[in-house]
A = this chain, B = another copy of it.
Amino acid sequence: MIRTPYLLFLGDAPDMLAAKVAIGIRDWRSDHAVGQISLPGCQADLKLSEMTLAEGRAAGAQTLVIGVANRGGVIGPHWKACLLEALALGYDVASGLHNLLRDDPDLVAAARAHGRALHDVRVPTVAYPIANGCARTGHRVLTVGTDCSVGKMYTALAMDAEMQARGLKSTFRATGQTGILITGQGVPLDAVIADFMAGAVEWLTPDADPDHWDHIEGQGSLFHISYSGVTLALIHGGAPDALILAHEPTRTHLRGLPERGLPTLEALRDTALPLAQIANPACRVVGVSVNTQHLAEDAFEAYLAEVEDRMGLATVDPYRQGAGRLVDALV
């Protein structure tokens, strides 16, 4: 568990896209972010208070979160001076970069000298059990996609936020690096050893109140052959009571697999639901989440209406419309 609140490190981000993690924290856990810190040349601005490291500490920040992805995932020398100073000032440091903080001897030495923690959220820190398949109390909803990166995390975060706003019992359960940095905890599922994937998801979604919903962050796709095993472990370990289907309608092929097209939403439903019912026979499909960012303003509503009519399911773009109708369909 990563100590909050955070100061968000933007480094020398070349654009806003590179600051995806920091944006996620600002948008979904704004009370976790006391401010931002940039290096010379930074082209990203989250419109948070720009602070020095000392100012961040004075504002209560406990952890410096690397909110930026750079080319190659390496920790550059100009970054390192800032990270070393942060450790000296009493910050923990958290990162989702491919290159691990723990593999940098200078950072390790500084963390040890100052008694601080380095969090590499790509690396599992728990010895997860093998899944036991036992029924759990409380409810779980999982978003499954026609492809990777179609808005599954966004959908789960939006549904969780909507339920919280309504005073309902709800928890977002992170299964990827960005989700873990946003919420401060979770399972980096793509880095878990094969035999323990489903058990890690059971561990992440324990018994809860009968009226509580876990919103499990989806990963990969049953139709994406590189990652489908991770997706099925999520479905069987999560044993969801409800599925949301996620789709990006303008994509011409599966991400990273140029020769393979996306399945239809019907094919996704007809594949995912029977597999989910192996773990939880009561599972049902309750809605469709469409990422319409590449559809024109005057076209996206017609597309959503067409899908809603075709599938007979509440169909929204949670970014443009909020997740209210998905939550209505769920509870």
What residues make up the interface of A, taking CB atoms closer than 8 Å to B?
A: 130-134, 189-195, 197-199, 222-223, 225-234, 236-237, 239, 256-257, 259-260, 263, 271, 274-275, 278-279
Contacts and interface: CB of A to CB of B under 8 A. Distances in A.
14 contacts: A131-B225, A133-B260, A134-B259, A190-B193, A191-B195, A194-B229, A195-B226, A198-B225, A222-B275, A222-B278, A225-B236, A225-B239, A229-B233, A271-B275
A228 B223 contact: no
A225 B225 CA distance: 19
Contact of A278 (B195, B223, B274, B279): B223
Given A190-B195, A198-B229, A228-B236, 10 more contacts: A133-B225, A133-B259, A134-B259, A189-B194, A194-B194, A194-B233, A195-B230, A198-B226, A222-B278, A229-B233
A59 B197 CA distance: 44
A239 B225 CA distance: 9
A130 B229 CA distance: 12
SS of A interface (majority):
helix
Nearest to A254: B133
Copies, count: 2
Contact of A132 (B230, B231, B257): B257
B222 A198 contact: no
A229 B226 contact: no
Contacts of A223: 278
A226 B130 contact: yes
Closest 7 CB pairs of A and B: A229-B233, A225-B236, A229-B229, A190-B195, A131-B226, A232-B232, A229-B232
A189 B193 CA distance: 9
Contact of A226 (B199, B228, B230): B199
A57 to B, nearest CB: 36
A312 B105 CA distance: 63
Nearest to A263: B278
Contacts of A239: 225
A28 to B, nearest CB: 24
Contacts of A191: 193-195
A229 B236 contact: yes
Contact of A194 (B192, B259, B271, B279): B192
Contacts of A263: 278
A230 B196 CA distance: 10
Q: Which of A131, A191, A198, A225 has the most CB of B within 10 A?
A: A225
